[in-house]
Amino acid sequence: MPGTELDHRALAAALESRILDGAGKTPPALRRKSFERAGGGPPINQPYDDLARQIGQSASHVTDDQLGRVVQAAGSEKAAFEIVLTAAAGAGLLRFRSAMKALEEATDASGRD
Amino acid sequence: MRLAEIDRGDGLANRLLIGFISLVSRMRLPDAARVAFYHRDFGRPLGTWTQAAMRGPSKWSVGERELMAAMVAKWNASPFCIGAHGAVAAKAMDRSVVDATLDDFRAGAPSGRLEATLAFLEKMTLHPDELTAADAGAVLDAGVDADALEDAIAVAAVFNIIARYAEALDFAMPTADEFQRAAGMLLKRGYAS
């Protein structure tokens, strides 16, 4: 969008690229599935499905057990943290894209920017 | 805090840092800061975006952006983020305005521009699939230009992420006094870790 002083799209893309494709304790494919699941995507393997879906729908209802099972399956707390952050980002960036699309369509329709 | 390693810090340097800051500030370092220090390379782009959205150039004041963050936290049922960002907002604007907005932004928001923007951010948070050009158009009609709405969208996106991990990790709730003191640090130092 011309004229904006901060390039939020680039900042969002940098976040997405880092957490999905960058180095980590978890396989990038698992991170991508968790990211998409929290954004309303298809079910994934347990126990990741329960946690990613819950973070996407209502993170305040995440339980000790949901996170504990992911720590066990992923092999460490750091790996589980990656899944938590990735799922949260999936939900947040879904909202970013929806909102930016609505704004873009509004400015295109009215000729405003 | 559900992950003990975040609580104590990963690595000696971070443990010493957490201990030092807690000692100097005479309060337990809030979990939000502990997460910012943890596995730092993985989360760094989120910190960069948060700092830009909350403290970078914008037509919204720092107080207005903190109030938006607190509202997104409310829609995500995150008491920690409501407390933390409501406290920062209240250092930049009247506490009664912050409380009235948090209670019912349609009656209590300090301006029509902010009220219209919050209506958009509420739908973005709770029903993102239902957002349309008409929703964005209503904000533009209220006198918010496209750049300002984009800046508000970024604040809401970032806090839809932060409030979610705060709740998933079960951040410990500071006292009201600790929120006040942490807010002073957030206002002064921002979000760069």
Total number of domains in chain A: 1
Nearest Cα neighbor of A53 from B163, B6, B168 is: B168
**Cβ–Cβ below 8 Å for B150 and A103:** yes
Question: Do B155 and B65 contact (CB within 8 A), yes or no?
Answer: yes
A50 is a domain residue: yes
**Cβ–Cβ below 8 Å for B125 and A88:** no
**C-alpha span between B51 and B87 (Å, rounded):** 17
pTM, rounded to two decimals: 0.95
A86 is a domain residue: yes
If you search the block for the tokens 């910190």, which residue do you land on?
B47
The neighbour count for residue B107, using CB atoms within 10 Å, is 9
What is the average per-residue pLDDT within B158-163?
A: 98
What is the average per-residue pLDDT within B147-171?
A: 98
Q: Where in B30-143 does DSSP place strands (E)?
A: none
**Cβ–Cβ below 8 Å for A12 and B49:** yes
Longest dimension (CA), chain B: 54
Give SS3 for A112: coil
**C-alpha span between B23 and B152 (Å, rounded):** 36
Question: Do A6 and B53 contact (CB within 8 A), yes or no?
Answer: yes
**C-alpha span between B75 and B118 (Å, rounded):** 11
Question: Do A30 and B175 contact (CB within 8 A), yes or no?
Answer: no
Q: Which of B3, B45, B134 is nearest residue A81 as measured by Cβ atoms?
A: B3
A4 is a domain residue: no
A3 is a domain residue: no
Q: Identify the pLDDT of residue A111.
A: 67
For chain B, percent of residues with pLDDT exceeding 70:
99
Q: What is the mean pLDDT of chain B?
A: 94
The neighbour count for residue B27, using CB atoms within 10 Å, is 16
pLDDT band at B167 (very low <50, low <70, confident <90, very high): very high
Which residues 43-62 on chain B approach chain A with CB closer than 8 angstroms? Answer: 43-46, 48-49, 52-53, 56-58
ipTM attached to this prediction? 0.94
Q: Which of A4, A17, A88 is nearest residue B164 as measured by Cβ atoms?
A: A88
The architecture CATH gives domain B44-189: Up-down Bundle (1.20)
Q: Identify the pLDDT of residue B25.
A: 85
Nearest Cα neighbor of A84 from B87, B127, B5, B28 is: B5
**C-alpha span between B64 and B71 (Å, rounded):** 11
**C-alpha span between B171 and B192 (Å, rounded):** 19
A67 is a domain residue: yes
Which residues 40-79 on chain A approach chain B with CB closer than 8 angstroms? Answer: 40, 51, 54-55, 58-60, 62, 64, 67-68, 71, 77-78
**C-alpha span between B166 and B140 (Å, rounded):** 32
Range of the domain at A63: 10-110
**C-alpha span between B7 and A50 (Å, rounded):** 24
A65 is a domain residue: yes
If you search the block for the tokens 């305005």, which residue do you land on?
B97
Map out the domains of chain B as residue ranges.
Answer: 44-189
What is the average per-residue pLDDT within B31-52?
A: 93
Q: Write out pLDDT tens, residues A68-113.
A: 999 999 999 999 999 999 999 999 999 999 999 999 999 988 766 5
Label residue B20 exposed, middle or buried (CB < 10 Å: 0-12, 13-18, 19+). Answer: exposed
Q: Show Cβ contacts of residue B33 under 8 Å, excluding neighbours closer than 6 positions.
A: B21, B193
A47 is a domain residue: yes
Could you tell me the CA-to-CA distances from B91 to B21, B24, B112, B119, B192 in Å, in that order?
22, 22, 21, 24, 19
* CB contacts, 8 Å: B42 with chain A: 18-19, 22, 24, 81-82, 85
Nearest Cα neighbor of B183 from B49, B83, B37 is: B83
A2 is a domain residue: no
**Cβ–Cβ below 8 Å for A1 and B147:** yes
